[in-house]
Amino acid sequence: MGPIPISFDSHSLFLLNIILALMMFGVSLTLRVEDFQRVVTSPRPTLVGVGAQFLLLPALSCLLTWGFRVEPELALGMMLVAACPSGSFSNIMTFLARGNVALSVSMTAICSLLALILTPFNFWFYGSLNPYTRPLLQDNNVEAGQIIGFVLLVLVLPLLLGMLAGRWRPALARRLEKPLRPLSLIIFLAFVALAFAKNIDLFVRYMPIFAGLVIVQNLLALLTGYVAATLMRLEEGDRRAVTIEVGIQNSGLALAILFTFYPQAGGMMLIAAFWGVWHLVSGSLLAFLWSRQPFPKSAP
C-alpha cells in the first residue's frame, strides 16, 4: 500500500485546532488544584493509570505494529494515537460506568500536562525503534520542539485557562461547562464526518484495513488499563476509571498534529480519524455494561 492522499485545506486545519482547544477548555473548567494533589495523597491508582497510559500502551502498540509488520503509515498513526493522553470524554464514561470519577479527572489533568513532553517523546522513540516506520519518520523531518510548542498551544494553555476561569468565575464556569462538553463533541464528530465525506472513496477502499487495526488497538488499550489495575490490586471503581482512561485516547490531538505536520500522511489520518469515532462506541458500550454490573461484595 502506497501513500494515501487526503483532501484537506488550511481553513479546516484552523477549525480543528480551535475545536481541540475548545474541548480542552471545557473539560478544565471544573478542574481544581486538588485534582492534581491526589497523586500525592493517593498516589498508587494515579501512578498505575499514568504508567499504563504513557509507558505500557505505547510500548505494546510498537510491538503490535512491529510484530505484524503493519504498513508504515498506518503503524505510525497507531503509535501517535498511543502516545496521546486520555480523551476529554473519559470522565463522563467513567461516571456512567460507576467508576472513580475523581481518579479519572486527576488522570485526565495530569496526562494532559505530561503530554507536553511524553507525547512527542513516545512518538519519536517508538517510531524510530520500529525498523519499518523509522525511514518514514526520518523523511518527514519534523522536530520534537515543533510538536511540543503545538501541544502547548492547543492542549496545555487551554487547560490552564479553563482552570483559571473556573477559579475566578466559578458560577460562569458551571454554566459554560455543561453545554461545552456535548457541543464540542458534536462539532468534532461533524468535522470528522465532513473529512470522511470529502474522501469517501479512500475511506471505503481502505476501511477493512484501518478499521480492524483501530479496533484491535483500542481493545489492547482497554485491556492494558484493566490488567495493569488488576495486577496492582486496585479497587473496582479505580479499575474502571483506569481502564476507560487508557482506552479513550485524545485522537483529536493526534489529528491536529497530523494535519499540521504530516499533511500528506493519509494512512496516519485514517487511523486517528476512525479512533475518534470508534473509542466513543467502545467506551460507551463498556460504560453501559459496567453500569449494570454490581460491584463485588468486598468493594466499597
Quote the radius of gyration of the chain (alpha carbons, Å): 18
Q: Do residues 242 and 228 touch, judged by C-beta distance below 8 A?
A: yes
What value does the mean pLDDT of the chain take? 86
Domain membership flag for residue 298: no
Give the whole-angstrom CA distance, residue 256 versus residue 247: 19
pLDDT in tens, 64-102: 999 999 999 999 999 999 999 998 789 889 999 999 988
Give the model's pLDDT for residue 47: 93
Domain membership flag for residue 4: no
Give the model's pLDDT for residue 18: 82
Q: pLDDT confidence of 265, banded at 50, 70, 90?
A: confident
User: Which residues form the domain of 259?
Assistant: 10-291
Give the model's pLDDT for residue 300: 47
Give the model's pLDDT for residue 296: 63
Domain membership flag for residue 22: yes
Q: pLDDT confidence of 297, banded at 50, 70, 90?
A: low
Instruction: Name the nearest CA neighbour of 245 among 225, 223, 272, 265.
Output: 225
Instruction: Name the nearest CA neighbour of 83 among 63, 41, 55, 109.
Output: 55
Total number of domains in the chain? 1
Please check the confidence at residue 54 and state whether its pLDDT lies above 80.
yes
Please check the confidence at residue 295 and state whether its pLDDT lies above 80.
no
Give the model's pLDDT for residue 282: 95
Quick one: what percent of the chain has pLDDT higher than 90?
A: 46
Write the CB contacts of 141 (distance below 8 Å, at least 6 apart in sequence): none
Give the model's pLDDT for residue 3: 56
Domain membership flag for residue 3: no
CATH number at residue 216: 1.20.1530.20
Domain membership flag for residue 300: no
Domain membership flag for residue 296: no
Domain membership flag for residue 62: yes
Q: Do residues 73 and 136 touch, judged by C-beta distance below 8 A?
A: yes
Give the model's pLDDT for residue 38: 72
Q: pLDDT confidence of 43, banded at 50, 70, 90?
A: confident
Domain membership flag for residue 5: no
pLDDT in tens, 211-241: 999 999 999 999 999 999 999 999 999 999 9
Q: Containing H/E element for 68? A: none
